[in-house]
Structure 1
């Protein structure tokens, strides 16, 4: 039988205390950074190459020198191997901006014995790993509403420091209204348990400027299956409410129907904006979701 836990056993009253203590990041962040770097090391790089000539640092190909070009463009080392002159072309590259947002509200502190990590820890590992990967690929990465986009090699530490020092975000279960540029990429990571109409309004506001986006729904396996029987007591960590259920097995079927309906609504919200929806269960490796997001962003870049 699965059991559940909320981060920080000392937080015994559901609600605000979980937000303030269970989701405190300072002590856990060094471990999460190490895990994020391990995940990032498994991901493919080179998200923004366009496979055509242009400004950039990556070598693409040699081509014959054309009369009228500046002699400074000739690659003399390559030309010495042949009776022709050659120019070294570089692959066209352009840095883009990727905005990350991580839900750190109280519901993200949930974790069951079936999960590898509580939802908030998995969301943070995913975000930090993606940040590291995107910067390595030449992108700029920022935290939506919290930090400007940067391409620093220390991006993981900078993102972590910003998140640790920010307490206002602990009350928000949806991303803030913040300026996003046209063609920017936005990755929103959370459980998205808010009413669909609120999620729809939030996503529409971000997408209005022409940005492309991805929703990453982080779920605990218990939230998916509700594998309980007999009497159960449920807690709403956001509102501090409790509910006693006499027959959890019978109640669970209605619960699972509502979860499916909620997920269908999220999928439609993403589809309407041309965004993607990724479901990530916390009993699966973080690298699975990270690799999918890297692939989706690369595909969007290639189509842009």
Structure 2
């Protein structure tokens, strides 16, 4: 990926993220409890932000007693701080050939839409002091979690490198380097075998990983606008179907797609993950906000 291309991709993501001030991107209830750029988790622990006072008990060390507050009452009080441990979020932007589809030149390819969405979310996470990284279809694609502008650029370069490869129509992420207690964001059209997704989520959940499933579809993949003689062929040419009356397939296709989306939602629900379907012809702002809030809901 050229430096110029990386800057263009990052600029587009930055433009999307700029629509959300640090606190506006988070849920309203979180905005009322945390400082800008900090994700409060509303439980006692290591941190800088005051949470509450509690009465001291015999096992408390004297150095933790707030003597100024204690002088105003008959007992001693401990000044508790809020836990503010940074979380780690890993992104997987599907490089499958099926993602390189757009039904109209005015609509971005699903892969481009997904890449900008992931980078914009990373920028919002960076504002909150979070760490983020990248998974791919092999160990070579792995970018360990970090933060900062350089890390965002690394993600952009990593995504672009995957997009340049000749991938099959459908892929699955390599989870071998995924660490426990991490959040994983999977962005794909999920038009492959749902069993593969179920196995991925099961493996991730077994490692203590939670996350979000973001399905990105082209509007034509929802509406099925084709009529008459039509040849349907996958990007790699591995799948091909010709029909003389495409319109007759619409109802059955849409039923199958609805079943597919319901199956994905069920996979997410059983694992305690979040699921949402977005369309590549719609403003990505709503998808970005949903993703960011889904990551926050882990601590609800």
TM-score (norm 2): 0.77
Q: 1:271 to 1:233 in 2, by over 3 A?
A: same
Q: Secondary structure at the match of 2:146?
A: coil
| Pairing partner for 1:149 from 145, 148, 151 | 145
Structure 2: how far apart are the matches of 1:204 and 1:26? 38
Q: In the alignment, what sits opposite 2:33?
A: none
What CA deviation, in whole Å up to 9, does each residue of 1:246-302 have, x standing for no partner? 111112221111111111111111112111111011121111111011111111023
Structure 2: how far apart are the matches of 1:25 and 1:301? 38
Spell out the pairing of 1:1-304 with structure 2 (5 A cutoff).
28-41=5-18, 42=20, 43-44=25-26, 46=37, 48-51=39-42, 54-57=45-48, 59-60=49-50, 91-113=82-104, 116-144=107-135, 145=139, 146-166=142-162, 170-171=167-168, 173-302=171-300
Q: 1:203 to 1:27 in 2, by over 3 A?
A: farther
Give the deviation of 1:168 after TM superposition.
5.9
Query: Which consecutive residues of structure 2, in runs of 5 or more, have no partner in the other structure?
Result: 27-35
Q: 1:121 to 1:47 in 2, by over 3 A?
A: farther
Q: Which shifted more, 259-268 or 168-177?
A: 168-177
Q: 1:102 to 1:152 in 2, by over 3 A?
A: same
Q: Secondary structure at the match of 2:102?
A: strand
TM-score (norm 1): 0.77
CA contact (8 A) 2:194 2:260 kept: yes
Structure 2: how far apart are the matches of 1:221 and 1:74? 63
Q: 1:240 to 1:62 in 2, by over 3 A?
A: closer
Q: 1:155 to 1:216 in 2, by over 3 A?
A: same
Q: 1:29 to 1:110 in 2, by over 3 A?
A: farther
Give the deviation of 1:241 after TM superposition.
3.8
Give the deviation of 1:230 after TM superposition.
1.9
Give the deviation of 1:91 after TM superposition.
4.0
CA contact (8 A) 1:228 1:248 kept: yes
Aligned-CA RMSD value: 3.3
Structure 1: how far apart are the matches of 2:244 and 2:3? 39
Structure 2: how far apart are the matches of 1:46 and 1:264? 35
Query: Which consecutive residues of structure 1, in runs of 5 or more, have no partner in the other structure?
Result: 1-23
Structure 1: how far apart are the matches of 2:87 and 2:63? 30
Give the deviation of 1:155 after TM superposition.
2.4
Structure 2: how far apart are the matches of 1:62 and 1:270? 36
Give the deviation of 1:165 after TM superposition.
3.5
Give the deviation of 1:238 after TM superposition.
3.6
